[in-house]
């Protein structure tokens, strides 16, 4: 087997050289290595995707299609390997959960909207891509994160990577000359705009903060430093929706922890974190810019605000025309030119982008049925997460449940103003957090 593997790797590399595409040959050889890892060590393969997805870039393919590389290639190879494991006797079965029914209904409604859409091929591609993310992120965590002690081993890696990206964006703003006016390209070329960057960091920050107040000694200092790095990255991303999500979610999260542990330590931690971030912002002379950017949320002449209204009105028009199943899952962008309003015109009006609101995207693409199914699914997530936090006898499970609920909560708030599901940098942590909640809830099922 080892000899065959070596020969296959050599053949792929030589084929790439012979065809004049050595990098393609090397990529194919790396893909074969990853496929074997995914078959033999699924958890390691999953961890490699978590490490890789923030570095992914969107690659445009012939025909107008796009692919996030290497994330979506690695996910496809992982799913193939897991299917092969199932066929060779390593059974894969989904345990019972209250989340199974709403998730299936949501998937069927989305698929039904695709069938009824004017863009069925486009919608089916989007549906398959999202199903792959759900199978990879949600189903894997649901199956493998039942043991809180084992699941906690992922926390330093998740928080550490979040801290890396917080430092990366902060350094680019302070050193690399990224504009302090809006920080739009703070984490380029990997996070092409500030919304996905800040949403990713905002989902990780509650986890870092909770483990700061839970740990002792050097571990506490490490998590505190990571929290500061992540917080600075979010601050310098200049993303109003992310700021608002944390303003709403963090006090509730830390308040629940304080009630559970009978301690006011989180109050001091939040105050200290905000003080350090404020000092950093003021010391570089960005305090005025931050204040003006926060105030711009209510400015009627702000181009971002105007275009958001543009997209929302288009979503309302789609819903009015097709109220029950919408224009079709994944079809908002293709349908938008037909519903674009001429009353409000900005330089962004003709750009290819989404609905700028997750609820409105669901409503316009999958109709009332899709929105209700989504609300049902997400409500069950919250119920399960709160049951674990309030009733579990395992301290680790309660802490993880609270952290995952907070991660979900930040995107739930952020998603009112932006729509990022379908982008690997948001979709993977979003579905993974829901999968962990579902897994922890199995002990109380």
Structurally, the chain folds into a number of domains equal to 3
Contact call for residues 127 and 422 (beta carbons, < 8 A): no
- If asked whether residues 433 and 310 sit together in one domain, one would say yes
- If asked whether residues 134 and 235 sit together in one domain, one would say no
Classify residue 150: in a domain, yes or no.
no
- If asked whether residues 99 and 197 sit together in one domain, one would say no
Classify residue 253: in a domain, yes or no.
yes
- If asked whether residues 356 and 435 sit together in one domain, one would say yes
Q: Which of 253, 273, 298 marks a domain boundary?
A: 298
- If asked whether residues 111 and 99 sit together in one domain, one would say yes
- If asked whether residues 118 and 183 sit together in one domain, one would say no
Min mean pLDDT across 117-121, 168-172, 174-178, 262-266 is at 174-178
What pLDDT does 181 receive?
52
Residues 54-65: pLDDT tens digits? 999 988 877 667
Classify residue 340: in a domain, yes or no.
yes
- If asked whether residues 216 and 335 sit together in one domain, one would say no
Classify residue 375: in a domain, yes or no.
yes
| Joined tokens for residue 338 | 């037909």
Q: How far apart are CA 273 and CA 279, in angstroms?
A: 10
- If asked whether residues 194 and 164 sit together in one domain, one would say yes
Nearest Cα residue to 136 out of 99, 92, 166: 92
Q: Give the number of C-alpha atoms closer than 13 A to the C-alpha of residue 392, restricted to the C-beta side.
A: 26
Cis (ω within 30 of 0) for the bond into 222?
no
Please list the residues that pair with 66 across neighbouring strands: 60
Q: How far apart are CA 251 and CA 340, in angstroms?
A: 39
Q: Which of 283, 298, 313 marks a domain boundary?
A: 298
More reliable by pLDDT, 287 or 201: 201
- If asked whether residues 60 and 109 sit together in one domain, one would say no
Classify residue 149: in a domain, yes or no.
no
- If asked whether residues 101 and 139 sit together in one domain, one would say yes
- Provide DSSP, 54-123: GG-EEEEPTTS-EEEETHHHHHHHHHHHHHHHHHTT----PPP-TTHHHHHHHHHHHHHHHHTSS-HHHH
Q: Which of 78, 93, 108 marks a domain boundary?
A: 93
Classify residue 215: in a domain, yes or no.
yes
- Domain extent at residue 352: 95-144+302-445
- If asked whether residues 356 and 257 sit together in one domain, one would say no
Structure pTM?
0.91
- If asked whether residues 137 and 210 sit together in one domain, one would say no
Residues 366-379: pLDDT tens digits? 999 999 999 999 99
Classify residue 406: in a domain, yes or no.
yes
Would you place residue 225 in the very low, low, confident or very high pLDDT band (cuts 50, 70, 90)?
very high
Classify residue 227: in a domain, yes or no.
yes
């Amino acid at each position: 087997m080892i000899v065959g593997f070596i020969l296959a790797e050599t053949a792929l590399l030589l084929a790439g050289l012979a065809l004049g595409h050595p990098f393609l040959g090397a990529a194919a050889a790396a893909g074969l290595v990853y496929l074997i890892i995914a078959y033999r060590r699924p958890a390691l393969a999953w961890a490699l995707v978590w490490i890789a997805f923030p570095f992914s870039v969107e690659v445009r393919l012939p025909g107008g299609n796009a692919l996030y590389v290497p994330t979506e290639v690695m996910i496809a190879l992982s799913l193939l390997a897991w299917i092969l494991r199932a066929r060779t006797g390593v059974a894969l079965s989904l345990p019972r959960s209250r989340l199974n029914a709403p998730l299936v209904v949501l998937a069927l409604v989305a698929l039904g909207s695709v069938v009824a859409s004017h863009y069925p091929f486009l919608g089916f591609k989007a549906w398959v891509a999202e199903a792959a993310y759900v199978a990879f992120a949600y189903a894997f965590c649901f199956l493998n994160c039942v043991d809180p002690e084992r699941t906690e081993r992922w926390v330093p890696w998740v928080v550490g990577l979040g801290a890396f990206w917080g430092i990366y964006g902060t350094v680019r703003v302070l050193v690399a000359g990224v504009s302090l006016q809006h920080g739009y390209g703070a984490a380029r070329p990997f996070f092409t705009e500030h919304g996905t960057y800040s949403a990713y960091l905002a989902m990780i920050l509650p986890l870092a903060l909770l483990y700061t107040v839970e740990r002792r000694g050097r571990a506490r200092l490490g998590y505190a430093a990571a929290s500061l790095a992540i917080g600075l990255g979010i601050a310098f991303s200049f993303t109003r929706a992310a700021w608002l999500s944390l303003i709403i979610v963090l006090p509730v999260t830390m308040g629940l922890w304080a009630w559970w542990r009978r301690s006011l330590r989180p109050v001091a931690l939040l105050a200290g974190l905000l003080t350090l971030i404020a000092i950093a912002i003021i010391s570089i002379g960005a305090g005025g810019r931050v204040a003006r950017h926060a105030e711009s949320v209510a400015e009627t002449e702000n181009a971002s605000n105007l275009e958001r209204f543009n997209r929302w009105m288009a979503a309302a028009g789609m819903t009015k025309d097709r109220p029950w199943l919408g224009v079709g899952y994944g079809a908002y962008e293709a349908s938008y030119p037909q519903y674009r309003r001429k009353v409000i015109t900005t330089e962004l009006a003709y750009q290819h982008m989404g609905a700028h609101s997750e609820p409105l995207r669901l409503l316009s693409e999958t109709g009332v049925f899709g929105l209700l199914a989504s609300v049902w699914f997400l409500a069950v997530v919250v119920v399960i997460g709160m049951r674990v936090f309030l009733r579990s006898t395992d301290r680790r499970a309660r802490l993880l449940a609270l952290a995952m609920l907070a991660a979900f909560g930040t995107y739930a708030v952020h998603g009112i103003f932006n729509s990022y599901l379908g982008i690997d940098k948001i979709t993977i942590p979003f579905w993974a957090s829901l999968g962990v909640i579902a897994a922890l809830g199995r002990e109380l099922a």
